């Protein structure tokens, strides 16, 4: 497309009407020659201007066509700019949403981190309690072992005491049997003592009676 056209014009000065007094003095032949020259120059100028006019008109046509193309391009570019702006705005909206989500996640992470620290503290305390309980269990187990040993002593003592008790019971039964024997003997002897006591009393009475009779003689 032509953007500019250089128009070369040949301007022929027209001297008609100039220097009237000189013209009046020229001959008719010179005047005709001058008119003929002016006519030729005018025709030449006309042809040049017509040519230049066509060139200008062609250039205007090209310019208008180019303007139409540029207008279409401008319209397309404007639509693309609008589409691009919409895309940028959409991305901006998405970025803000994502930034909000990131902030929310960071906030939740901070809360969870605080919870983790709290749980770690609780876990540490639980671990310490477990160590204390393990120590308590070991101490209790030691006491159980001591009690087991002490229990063995008591059980051994119980065995000895049972044997002693069995011996005592055996002795008691033996003494009870012996006591029964002696009681039986005692009862027998008491019967004999009573019998012989009665006999002594009877014999004493007999003796006393004989003595009284003897004294009487």
Which residue would you say has higher pLDDT here, 96 or 32?
96
What is this structure's pTM? 0.38
Helix, strand, coil percentages (3-state) for the chain, rounded to 5, are 90, 0, 10
Q: What value does the mean pLDDT take over residues 39-51?
A: 92
Distance between CA atoms of 74 and 81, rounded to whole angstroms?
A: 10
Distance between CA atoms of 32 and 38, rounded to whole angstroms?
A: 10
Distance between CA atoms of 113 and 120, rounded to whole angstroms?
A: 10
- C-alpha gyration radius of the chain: 81
pLDDT, tens digit, 9 for 90 and up, residues 151-194: 999 999 999 989 998 998 888 888 888 888 898 898 888 888 98
Q: What value does the mean pLDDT take over residues 29-56?
A: 90
Element (H, E) at 6: none
């Amino acid at each position: 497309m032509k953007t500019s056209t250089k128009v070369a014009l040949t301007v022929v000065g027209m001297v008609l009407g100039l220097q009237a007094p000189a013209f009046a003095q020229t001959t008719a032949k010179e005047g005709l020659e001058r008119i003929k020259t002016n006519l030729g120059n005018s025709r030449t100028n006309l042809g040049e201007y017509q040519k230049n006019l066509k060139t200008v008109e062609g250039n205007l046509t090209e310019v208008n066509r180019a303007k139409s193309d540029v207008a279409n391009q401008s319209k397309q570019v404007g639509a693309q700019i609008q589409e691009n702006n919409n895309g940028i705005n959409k991305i901006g909206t998405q970025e803000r949403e994502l930034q909000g989500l990131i902030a929310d996640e960071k906030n939740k992470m901070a809360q969870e981190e605080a919870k983790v620290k709290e749980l770690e503290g609780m876990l540490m305390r639980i671990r310490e309690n477990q160590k204390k309980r393990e120590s308590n269990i070991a101490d209790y187990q030691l006491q159980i072992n001591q009690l087991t040993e002490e229990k063995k002593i008591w059980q051994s003592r119980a065995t000895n005491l049972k044997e002693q008790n069995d011996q005592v019971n055996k002795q008691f039964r033996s003494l009870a049997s012996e006591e029964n024997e002696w009681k039986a003997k005692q009862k027998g002897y008491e019967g004999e003592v009573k019998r012989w006591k009665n006999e002594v009393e009877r014999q004493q009475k007999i003796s006393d009676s004989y003595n009284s009779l003897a004294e009487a003689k």
